[in-house]
Each structure stands twice: as structure tokens, then as C-alpha cells.
Structure 1
Amino acid sequence: MIPRLDRWIGPLAWATLVSNSVLVVTGGAVRLTGSGLGCPTWPRCHDESFTPHGAYSVHSAIEFGNRMLTFVLVAVAIATLVSAWQTGRRDLRRMAVLLALGIPAQAVIGGITVLTDLNPWIVSFHLLCSMAIIGLSVLFLRRIDHPAPTPASGPVVGLAWATFASAWLVLYVGTVVTGSGPHAGDAKAPRNGLDPLQLSQLHADVVFLFVGLTVGLLFALLATSAAREATVAVGVLLAIEVAQGAIGFVQYFTDLPIVLVGFHMLGAALVSASVTWVLVRVREPA
């Protein structure tokens, strides 16, 4: 008999969001420590074993540890799916299925990443998929308490959509910048061949666009006396953007120390989550 988990759907939704954000950070640790090919094949770690046993090294341990996190994500995804199913709500069931399917999809993409010797374009796609799962997790959290929202419309909602789109442009260009610079995940991993200096300037330009749209959205909400929750959400997003920008500038002028790059990746996960929350709050006022 399957235990009743529907009462735990809120905590499980938070666990889904947090665990996928942790995956972004641990995946960054794999790349930043040069451990991307610590397990040089997939799905095995080595040709003769699924584990690093017999060919142990620090890099293989780091990469294998990141792979093992997948089982934690699977457990959370299954519990979340069972919980959503027991609620009887079709909207939660659909989103839980998508969240669950995202885990094996990410594992396969990760395997392709290893089999292509950390091709930077596939690494980029791997990270963006995690960002999408994080955004969907935020929407899932919202739907638990707001099953049938009445979407708003108008110029402020349009500005929120523009802010959301610019956030994803920032995230994408950021992955391309990463693919052109150091910290490839392995000393022999290929780079995308683009100019890091020009891409960094492009990244800074789209960040300024993102920040400008966020500030504009904040003033628009204040001018229209919008719900306090939406205004607070935009304020939180703006604070995250400022922190991310500060980390980005410092890491650029200090030759990309791995600690700062790691915090920058965590910030990217927070951007994905917070900009999704802003869009939902503005588009679906209480």
C-alpha cells in the first residue's frame, strides 16, 4: 500500500527546488576542480566498473559523487510525483511528471557531455536544463496554493515577460562566456573558440538590460499600487541581480577564482527561481 504523501506536497516541492539548485552547484564544482572527466565514460565510471574502484583519484571521486546525487534527485522526484498523484489534481500531476522526467533527461545529457569530452555547447545545454527545472519547481510551488489562477494582462505584465526573457538571455550568454574561457572541466576539454573578451562585454550588456527592465518593473508596480507580494518579489530579484553583478565584475578582474565562480553559479540558480516567481506574482495577482 502506497503511504499518503499528499500532505507533504509542499515540503517535497521545496525539496525539488533545493535539490536541483544544489545540483547546479555540485556540477559547477566538478567543472571548477577539473574533474569533468574523472569518470571518463558513461554510464560506467570506467570501462570495467560503475564506480571509481580500482582507478581511484580525487577527480574521479568528485565526478562520481556528482553522479550519485542523481539518485537523491530521483528519490525526491518519485516522492513528489506520488504526492501530486494522490492530490487528484491534474495540473500538479502534469508538472510533477515533467519534473520527474527532467532527472533522467539530465542524466542522459550529462552522459553525452562526458562522451563528447565536455563539448562546451552540450555543457551549456546541460546547465540551462537545470535552470528550466528550477523555474518549473517554482511554478509547481505556486500551483499548490493557487490551482486556478486568473491571469492578468496589460503593459506591466508585458514588462514582466520582457524581464523574464532578458533573464534567460543573460543565463544563455553566460554559458557561452563560460564555454570560451578557462575552467573547462578538464585540461584537454575543447573550448568553443569564441573571443572571451567580446563575449564578456556582450554578457555585461545584456545584464544591464536585465537590471534596467527589473528597475522599470519595480517602478511600474509602485506606480500602479500593485500587490505588495509582487513588489517584494521584484525587490528580491533586484537584490540578487546586484549581488550577481558584483560577483561577476570581481571574478572577471581577479582572473576567475573558482570560489567566486562557484558563487556565481549559485546566483544563476537563484536568478532562475526568483525571475520565475516575479513573473508568476505579476501575471497572477492574488
Structure 2
Amino acid sequence: MPRVKSFEPLFRPFAAWLRPLALASLVANVALIVTGAAVRLTDSGLGCPTWPRCTDESYTTTAAMGVHGVIEFGNRLLTFVLAALAIACFLGALGRPRRRSLVRLSVAVGLGIPMQGVVGGITVLTHLNPWVVGLHFLLSIALISVAYAFWRRIDEGDGAPRSLVPAPLRTLGRLTALAGLAVVAAGVVVTGSGPHSGDRGAKRNGLDPAAISQVHADLVFLLIGLSVALWFALRAVPAPPAAARAALVLIAVELGQGLIGFVQYFTHLPVILVAAHMLGAGLVWWGTLGVLWSLRERPSLSPADQVPASSSPAPEPVPTA
């Protein structure tokens, strides 16, 4: 430990910028959804036909591969941006003394990035299997969750979580989050049955797009209903104003996302609206996480709790006769 502490001054510049670095990491993980959508919507999913190389002879795209190779390779390059931000966040967490939880979260974000790259490689090697492509998207949702937790934990203490609302509202908040996750998962299945496969020769999941879209729409109505109920409940009981605001922001994002979804469905899935809908999925989940975080807090530990057991004072000697 003393040796690690001696390096703390080297990490302090990163620690001073830790919050904007964490926010940049979160935004970049949302942006990965958008660049992934660009790959799929431009039929560039096999722009680099192999992995980890772009071609059998080159790690980078070539002029012969055209714009599809540029788009696919550009999406791969974003992985290095995410990795650089994750490393910077890890160093910043090391510069925050007694914040091991931040270090653990930064490590989780960092490990998720190569995992995401591997799953992306499997999508290429399986010629854009729709179920693997869906897993690739869901892993982005998981990474957004961890990156969001890291960003919010910076301003929190290390005490045990403490609820700010009555227990029934905590349950309602969890149900809203589960409904949001179900909406995202159903959207993945809808995408796997639709026309935008990432390559003209890629297979679809074989499900009826109309039937799956109806299930997705039903879940969206459920999510909006739960969100509205949560907002009214937060205004009816003693709850932090920030919690009601977070619920209202989530409702606004959901309504915008729902409008885009209906318009894109009845206009036969134009590329620009599908891309906006993909971005909206990431923003809906961001808003959902914001609601969950607004319902609880983590106080700072007392100085006595922060003292390691090894540094506790030795017991006084018993006087002898």
C-alpha cells in the first residue's frame, strides 16, 4: 500500500478531471450505438469482412473496399477512444483516496470494452447473425449502465444506499426500469426481423415483423404508463424534487422516442429515423437510470468508518500490581 500511495500525485491530474472524463465515457458509449446503427443502416456490416483484421492482409480498410469499409473500420476505431477514456477514468479513480468503489467500476467499464469488441467480431464472423447483433447492442446497454454508475458515484459517498422515498415507490421505480429493459430487448428482436440487416445477404430472425412490432408497442405503452404513475406518485408524497424532475425527463424522452418509432413504422423505416430511434433507445435507458439514482443516496462514511482496522489504536495495557 505505501508504494501505491507514493504514486497518487501522478494520478491527481486525472482525478481533477474525473467527472468530465466519466461523462465523456458515458457519452461515447451512447455514441457507439449511433455508429453501430450507421454500419447497419448503410449495409456496411461486412465492410471489413473478417476480424480482428479488416481484411486477410490488413488491419485497416483499403481503397478497394470503398465507403463500406471506411464506415465499418471507423466504428472499430471508436473502440480505441472508449479504451483511452476508460484508462483515464481508471487513473483518475486511483487519484481519489479511499474510493475503491470507483476503481472497481472503472475496471468494469474497461473490461467491457474489449468484450464488446469480441462480440462485434463474432457478429462479423457469423455474417451478421441477427441474434448476435442483438447481443452486441444489449452489451452496449450494459456498458452504459456501468459507465452511468461510475459517473454518478463520483459525487456520492461510500456509505450504504439509503432510500429517499417510501418502499412502494422504490418498487414502482424498479418495475419501470424492468419495463424499459423489456422495451429495449423487444426492440432488438424487431430490428432482427426488419429489412436493415447490415448487409444485403444477411439473414433475418424469421419472426413476423408486424407481430413483434405490436409486442414492442404494447411494452412501450406499459413503460410510459408506469413512468407517468411514478411521476404522479413522486409529486404526491414527500420526495426529493430531483426525483420528480428525473421522472418527467424520462417521460419526455419516452414520448419523443415513441413518436419516432410510430413515424418510422408507418413510413417504412427510413434510415434517418431508424438511426434517431437507435439513439433514442440509449437516451431512454440513460433517463431510466437517472430515475433509479434519484430515489436513493449514498452518504459519506464517518471518519471512524474510514480508518482501516490495521490502524486502530492498540488496547491500553492492564496495570499490574
Do these two structures clear the TM 0.5 threshold for a shared fold by scoring above it? yes
Q: Distance in 1 between matches of 2:250 and 2:160?
A: 22
Whether contact under 8 Å (2:51, 2:124) holds in the other structure is yes
Q: Percent identity?
A: 54
Q: Match for residue 284 of structure 1?
A: 297
For residues 172 and 118 of structure 1, do their structure 2 counterparts lie closer, same or farther at Cα, with a shift above 3 Å needed? same
Alignment of 1:169-188 (within 5 A): 169-188=182-201
Alpha carbon RMSD of aligned pairs, Å?
Answer: 1.3
Matched, 1:102 2:112: yes
Of 151, 159, 166, the match for 2:162: 151
Whether contact under 8 Å (2:11, 2:91) holds in the other structure is no
Of 269, 273, 279, the match for 1:260: 273
Q: Distance in 2 between matches of 1:107 and 1:143?
A: 26
Match of 1:87, SS state, is coil
Of 239, 257, 281, the match for 1:244: 257
- The Cα offsets for residues 63-116 of structure 1, whole Å up to 9 and x where unpaired, read as 011111111111111001111122131110110000011100000000001000
Q: Distance in 1 between matches of 2:119 and 2:33?
A: 14
- The Cα offsets for residues 117-159 of structure 1, whole Å up to 9 and x where unpaired, read as 0011111111111111112222212211112353325000000
Match of 2:95, SS state, is helix
Q: Match for residue 77 of structure 1?
A: 86
Q: Distance in 1 between matches of 2:11 and 2:109?
A: 21
Whether contact under 8 Å (1:39, 1:46) holds in the other structure is yes
Q: Distance in 1 between matches of 2:296 and 2:193?
A: 36
Matched, 1:231 2:231: no
With 136-145 and 218-227 compared, the bigger mean Cα shift is at 136-145
Matched, 1:125 2:125: no
Whether contact under 8 Å (1:230, 1:285) holds in the other structure is no
Whether contact under 8 Å (2:197, 2:204) holds in the other structure is yes
- The Cα offsets for residues 216-262 of structure 1, whole Å up to 9 and x where unpaired, read as 10011011031100000000000000000000000000000000000
Matched, 1:10 2:19: yes
Query: In structure 2, what residue type is equivalent to 1:42?
Result: W
Query: In structure 2, what residue type is equivalent to 1:132?
Result: A
Higher-Rg structure is: 2
Q: Distance in 1 between matches of 2:54 and 2:106?
A: 30
Matched, 1:273 2:286: yes
* TM-score, normalising length: structure 2: 0.87
With 1-10 and 117-126 compared, the bigger mean Cα shift is at 1-10
Q: Distance in 1 between matches of 2:11 and 2:240?
A: 39
For residues 285 and 83 of structure 1, do their structure 2 counterparts lie closer, same or farther at Cα, with a shift above 3 Å needed? closer
With 197-206 and 135-144 compared, the bigger mean Cα shift is at 135-144
Q: Distance in 1 between matches of 2:219 and 2:66?
A: 40
Segments of structure 1 that go 5 or more residues without pairing to the other structure are none
Q: Match for residue 66 of structure 1?
A: 75
Measured after TM superposition, the shift of residue 52 of structure 1 is: 1.6
Measured after TM superposition, the shift of residue 54 of structure 1 is: 5.2
Whether contact under 8 Å (2:44, 2:68) holds in the other structure is yes
Q: Distance in 1 between matches of 2:151 and 2:198?
A: 33
- The Cα offsets for residues 252-281 of structure 1, whole Å up to 9 and x where unpaired, read as 000000000000011011011110110111
Whether contact under 8 Å (1:120, 1:192) holds in the other structure is yes
Q: Match for residue 42 of structure 1?
A: 51
Segments of structure 2 that go 5 or more residues without pairing to the other structure are 1-6, 300-321
* TM-score, normalising length: structure 1: 0.97
Measured after TM superposition, the shift of residue 3 of structure 1 is: 4.7
How many residue pairs end up in the alignment?
A: 286
Measured after TM superposition, the shift of residue 55 of structure 1 is: 2.8
Match of 1:168, SS state, is helix
Matched, 1:219 2:232: yes
Q: Distance in 2 between matches of 1:68 and 1:150?
A: 38
Q: Distance in 2 between matches of 1:52 and 1:199?
A: 36
